[in-house]
Structure 1
């Protein structure tokens, strides 16, 4: 069984897409200036750090996502052995 997208590309050829379209979209839609000083756990957010803001407005540095999930969502992490 072949994937429909592969079959379409084989029949019609690859689409004419500028390879930088994704980069332009990403850079235009993610603000990089005026970032918060620190997240809800007190970690400093520096230029180039990745963070997210939840629906209630809490800022969380990407490195602290596990702490956020444990505190806010009650997540329990396991490791398979």
Structure 2
């Protein structure tokens, strides 16, 4: 994964959003309790702000790679609600 990862484009900080999908579309969020890249507290704040259904997992920033079954379960649960 690290070989394929590129730096974020500067345009990502300058583009204006036309709307926030999370305001009108149901959201789900998997919080990684041991994430050192994006603190779990920040993740909880963002998930709460968007009204997301959350699931917390014991994992790092790439918990979805380390725990694919948990992630797939969250995705399946989200699909069942749509």
TM-score, normalised via structure 2 length = 0.29
Structure number with the higher helix fraction is 2
> Which one has a bigger Cα radius of gyration?
1
Structure number with the higher strand fraction is 2
Q: RCO greater where, 1 or 2, for CA within 8 Å and sep 6 or more?
A: 2
TM-score, normalised via structure 1 length = 0.29
